[in-house]
Structure 1
């Protein structure tokens, strides 16, 4: 399992697990499930050119971001992922609760299955809300580790590495 495939597995898993949630958006009376992205948010449209979308249109969302991998080259491989959670709430006192709710859904879903694709959840699930919030936009972060099968190369296909 390589890191790109594991990222895709996590995006699919979180999309399914969060599909039933209904969270606030910047539009009155429109609720939606968090959209799950890999890596980074898509480019936002330019409001100066007459495009109507702004960054707030993406809320709520979860970004699955690959951080790093430890491969001991023989028998174990661990990948670390950061999850960026963002919600929208005009409630300046309690708005943080929606972000924490998404984080709890993610944590409970991971603990229930214990693995995603070939990745086995290991270590701790770390969660934190940002200390400074850009109200009405609320953010949190999670980090999770997965043990995955170590990639083994078929050396007979590679040859000895020298061209004679």
Structure 2
């Protein structure tokens, strides 16, 4: 039976939950002349990252087996424990914003089996959506896709996981 295909935009609910917490502590620490100006800035940052993640997702394949997206304010990761050892996958990554991010693909380590990781650094662009592709063969069961933004990186990203 064929695997159901997941729409890339379906993962944006995770994005909304993840970005809702990105800029909350700075409003209490610094006094502001207007109580409404600081919360608007926090909401604006979240809204901007959400919009950038949506734009990044728009250039990826709609035939994804799995997908994810989020803002680049903090590291994120998604695990798919169902993929078998030896599975070949293509991971399409797109980002919009400033700075760079390290995307790591890790298989194994779930049942005490050997862990295999590859990673690449991708630069985001404010001028347009930067997209990249990674080819990977799982060395053991399960695949973790991790995104670790460099310090000061801001924007949104999305990825699509396709079986090769």
TM-score higher than 0.5 = no
More helix by share: 1
More strand by share: 2
Give the structure, 1 or 2, with the largest relative contact order (CA under 8 Å, sep 6 or more).
Answer: 2
With normalisation by structure 2, the TM-score equals: 0.32
